[in-house]
A and B are shown apart, each in its own frame.
Chain A
Amino acid sequence: MIYDIAGLRISIDANNAAIDKFCAAYLSCDQNSPVDIFACASKEDVDAERQLSPNLSQTVLEFACVYRSICRQIPKFDRMVLHGALVAHNDEGYIFLGKSGAGKSTHANLWINHIPNAKMVNGDKPILQQKDGVFIGYGTPWCGKEQFGYNGSVTIKGLCFIEQSPINQIERLSVAEATKRLFPQILLPGDEQELDNTLRLLNELVLSTPVYVLKCDISKQAAMLSFETLTK
């Protein structure tokens, strides 16, 4: 089946009805024109993924591998995947990032619960597109265990790393510090040309977009602090 994801025409060869169901909101109404990307979950990739996560079902493993197949191919289209929660507020996007368990989803949900018009675009792995000097963030079918997100896009205005702390404080990171922290949150393709494109996009992202670190608890005040700083 052919899907429209992150502004690209993507053919997913899944052989798994559950994957078509996960992607249903992105099904293209044009199933005939040429596509940008062919994606599939090869047996080799699925086996490698199972080694890392032996408790996951075959469907979940295949679904993850299809996304990796897509994300390895998108840098030539000026796009990259980022591990984080993308929240929209009035068509502007903010991405919360952090180590596993740091509370990025929790903080994103504080925005949803306390800030009018805040919506989760992608709770886990949004795709970013560099376009005319700004970055666009997209919802995709791959949006975390809770499948929290929708088929939409927003202009990225800021990134924010989350760290747990009893005292709420926020500071802007230097470009170098932002780069170091972002590296573990992106996918580095093995293909030299796509790797080169990815590093170029990361460079443009850190030079064009403010990156903050928020040390915070899980109160409404924490959400108001990041909201006021990021949307300033």
Chain B
Amino acid sequence: MKIQEGFILREVGGMYIAVPVGETSKHFHGMVNLNSTGAWLWGFFLQNRTQQEAVTAFAAAFEIDASQAEADVAAFVDALKNKGILV
């Protein structure tokens, strides 16, 4: 799965905010608010990746154990799948 095209991610007011651009802005209204780990996962999923690849890379990057990484990645994936951004 990967992040759909048509969004840009920027740091605003110390938060990471993803907003729709171009054609996407006509049907997706609103914004997605991410923390720094969410922004890292966003960057990771700009290319097509599996959830397991994300868990492994995320655990290594943030030096956390696998169960914590699984929970964090699952929360990110569920939230963005629900919004139709991660497909």
Contacts and interface: CB of A to CB of B under 8 A. Distances in A.
Contact of B13 (A178, A188, A190, A196): A178
B8 A196 contact: yes
Given A183-B31, A190-B26, A196-B8, A175 B21 contact: no
Contact of A199 (B17, B25, B26, B33): B17
Given A180-B33, A183-B31, A190-B26, A195 B12 contact: no
Contacts of A167: none
B19 interface: yes
Interface string B13-25: 1110101111101
- Select the residue from B21, B26, B33 with max chain A CB neighbours within 10 A: B21
A178 B14 CA distance: 11
B14 A199 contact: no
B15 A199 contact: no
A176 interface: yes
Nearest to A202: B12
A174 to B, nearest CB: 9
B13 A179 contact: yes
B19 A179 contact: no
B50 to A, nearest CB: 29
B65 interface: no
B8 A206 contact: no
Contact of A192 (B13, B17, B22, B31): B22
B13 A195 contact: no
6 contacts: A176-B14, A178-B13, A179-B14, A188-B25, A195-B21, A199-B19
